Amino acid sequence: MIIILDKKDCVGCGACANRCPKQCIAMKEDSEGFVYPNIDKEMCINCGLCERVCPVINLPKHREVQSVYACYNRDEKVRMNSSSGGCFSLLADYTLKQNGYVVGAAFDTDLSVHHILINTVEDLALLRGSKYLQSRMGNIYSLVQEVLEKGELILFSGTPCQVAGLKTFLGREYDNLFAVDLVCHGVPSPKVYREKLSEVEEKIGEKVVNVNFRDKTSGWNGFNLIFAGEKKLVKEVKQESSYMQAFLKNISVRPSCSVCRYNNEHSSADLTIADYWGVETKFPELSDNKGVTVVLVNTVKGDRLFDQVKKNAAVWKSDFTHAAQHNFAMKNIGALHPARKEFFARLGTENMDILVPELIKKFKNDK
Ligand SMILES: Cc1cc2nc3c(=O)[nH]c(=O)nc-3n(C[C@H](O)[C@H](O)[C@H](O)COP(=O)(O)OP(=O)(O)OC[C@H]3O[C@@H](n4cnc5c(N)ncnc54)[C@H](O)[C@@H]3O)c2cc1C
Ligand code: SF4
Ligand code: SF4
Ligand code: SF4
């Protein structure tokens, strides 16, 4: 039976809960809003299956990145609605057109975020774009296994630890499974996100019905966050958004992100996608500020898949050193911010727009 002594040792993937034959593991939020397994010890039969599928107990192996590309989707609308260059949509669209399934993070009607499985091109928009909070996995791993066992093609997308969790959950390779992960420096707490939504709702006097974490109307580099009601909206510039600053400075992220064992050369995915920040320093023709995805090819299978989508994409061959030059998380793991503890202690009692800058300033001065 899984016992978590240090919160850094659980990524919240839910592989254990998906695997438990007695269904005695529930994923429950802690006081910070991150999910951890909660085991009903009365029901547990000590079979050890939860430990066998845990990606923290069974760490992925080191693997060299095989090749690196700069890529954008030639469909302008899709590119503009994507976080980077819209390459995820190219991979997903190709899979759906092969009658396959795609799994990824989507907003629910209450604007929470969880992983879903789709099989129509119309539903692809639900998965498009980054949602900056930890996505709930529910029973998605079990569902993926069921579909794979029927011989159907699946493209699974998620953070590197979610892909690692899928791989340990499945316990064997499937030829009909392709996995794509993201370069990921951390995931914010769903509780912080809910708090942000309620602060915005108080400000605009109505329910938020739409969230966009990567609005590109001011360009890809200086993107905005948009929280929209039916009549009013709040638009925050990335650098000035308290939500985004708490995320980027590792104030609101999960403890396990400070010891991440799944990024880049420890990825379990066939392909890894990320923002190609600084792309124009190598390819000046890509300086239109509309977004470029960097694609890391990790496996032969990934190479095969990317080859299929290249014809609908604008693609340039690059290299890891250049791609990582302006992308911190491609080579580094960020420590948790010293203000993190105080932030969570005061969350919910003080407005985030005041609290976050105050804490950032305070801990800068304390250094
Ligand atoms: C939490 C998080 C942190 C990230 N950190 C970095 C970073 O530090 N550096 C960097 O270069 N890029 C980072 N990215 C990736 C980047 O934001 C883009 O998602 C990526 O460049 C692909 O863009 P795209 O235009 O090709 O496709 P998009 O359409 O923008 O990508 C959509 C994909 O993101 C997945 N996704 C969206 N939200 C989530 C979520 N909450 N959990 C799991 N999967 C999700 C979808 O399932 C889909 O596969 C991060 C993404 C997320 C979600
Ligand atoms: S040991 Fe077996 S029964 Fe007990 S929680 Fe783990 S998977 Fe479930
Ligand atoms: S399987 Fe995932 S959720 Fe369960 S303990 Fe391991 S990391 Fe945590
Ligand atoms: S930083 Fe690592 S542990 Fe945290 S969400 Fe991303 S992949 Fe998972």
Q: Would you say residue 60 lies in a domain?
A: no
Ligand 1: residue of 93, 95, 117, 182 to mutate (most ligand atoms within 8 A of CB) is 182
Coil, strand or helix: which one is 231?
Answer: coil
How far apart are the C-alpha atoms of 51 and 240, rounded to whole Å? 42
Q: Would you say residue 210 lies in a domain?
A: yes
Ligand 2: residue of 4, 19, 22 to mutate (most ligand atoms within 8 A of CB) is 22
User: How many domains does the structure of the chain reveal?
Assistant: 3
- Whole-number pLDDT of residue 235: 97
**303 alpha carbon to ligand 1 midpoint, in Å?**
20
CB of 27 sitting under 6 A from ligand 1 = no
**Is there a contact between 192 and 133 (Cβ–Cβ < 8 Å)?**
yes
- Whole-number pLDDT of residue 35: 98
- Whole-number pLDDT of residue 265: 84
- Whole-number pLDDT of residue 137: 98
**Strand ordering across the sheet containing 210-215:** 210-215, 224-228, 233-237
**149 alpha carbon to ligand 3 midpoint, in Å?**
23
* Residue 98: pLDDT over 70: yes
Q: Are residues 167 and 40 in the same domain?
A: no
DSSP states of 165-187 as a string?
HHHHHH-S--TTEEEEEE--S--
pLDDT cut 90: percent of the chain above it? 96
**76 alpha carbon to ligand 2 midpoint, in Å?**
49
Q: Would you say residue 139 lies in a domain?
A: yes
Q: Are residues 319 and 349 in the same domain?
A: no
CB of 359 sitting under 6 A from ligand 3 = no
Chain centroid offset of residue 112 CA? 14
**178 alpha carbon to ligand 4 midpoint, in Å?**
20
Q: Are residues 222 and 123 in the same domain?
A: no
Ligand 3: residue of 1, 50, 56, 166 to mutate (most ligand atoms within 8 A of CB) is 56
CB of 275 sitting under 6 A from ligand 1 = yes
- Whole-number pLDDT of residue 264: 75
Q: Are residues 80 and 152 in the same domain?
A: yes
Q: Would you say residue 287 lies in a domain?
A: yes
CB of 269 sitting under 6 A from ligand 4 = no
Residue with CA at minimum distance from ligand 3 atom 4: 16
- Whole-number pLDDT of residue 367: 53
**Is the C-alpha dihedral spanning 177, 181, 187, 192 positive or negative?**
negative
Residue with CA at minimum distance from ligand 4 atom 3: 257
- Per-residue pLDDT, averaged over 97-108, amounts to 98
Q: Would you say residue 45 lies in a domain?
A: yes
Q: Are residues 28 and 146 in the same domain?
A: no
Q: Would you say residue 1 lies in a domain?
A: no
Using the 8-state DSSP alphabet, how is residue 305 labeled? H
- Whole-number pLDDT of residue 311: 84
The whole domain housing 45 covers: 7-52
| β partners of residue 67 | 297
- Per-residue pLDDT, averaged over 84-98, amounts to 98
* Residue 65: pLDDT over 60: yes
Tens digits of per-residue pLDDT, 314-353?
999 999 999 999 999 999 999 999 999 999 999 999 999 9
Q: What angle do CA 78, 83, 242 make, to 5 degrees?
A: 140
Q: Are residues 218 and 92 in the same domain?
A: no
Q: The domain spanning residue 23 has which CATH number?
A: 3.30.70.20
Residue with CA at minimum distance from ligand 2 atom 7: 20
Residue with CA at minimum distance from ligand 1 atom 37: 130
Of the pLDDT bands very low, low, confident and very high (cuts 50, 70, 90), residue 277 is very high
Q: Are residues 168 and 99 in the same domain?
A: yes
Of the pLDDT bands very low, low, confident and very high (cuts 50, 70, 90), residue 366 is low
**Is there a contact between 80 and 74 (Cβ–Cβ < 8 Å)?**
no
Q: Are residues 106 and 164 in the same domain?
A: yes
Which atom of ligand 3 is found nearest the CA of 17?
A: 4
CB of 291 sitting under 6 A from ligand 3 = no
Residue with CA at minimum distance from ligand 3 atom 7: 10
**29 alpha carbon to ligand 1 midpoint, in Å?**
23
- Whole-number pLDDT of residue 200: 97
Q: Are residues 74 and 125 in the same domain?
A: yes
Residue 346 has which token pair? 């005061």
Q: Are residues 154 and 21 in the same domain?
A: no
Residue with CA at minimum distance from ligand 1 atom 21: 274
CB of 271 sitting under 6 A from ligand 2 = no
Q: Would you say residue 57 lies in a domain?
A: no
Q: Are residues 227 and 356 in the same domain?
A: yes
* Residue 182: pLDDT over 70: yes
- Per-residue pLDDT, averaged over 46-69, amounts to 95
Q: Would you say residue 62 lies in a domain?
A: no
Q: Are residues 248 and 285 in the same domain?
A: no
Residue 38 has which token pair? 């909660």
- Per-residue pLDDT, averaged over 150-171, amounts to 98
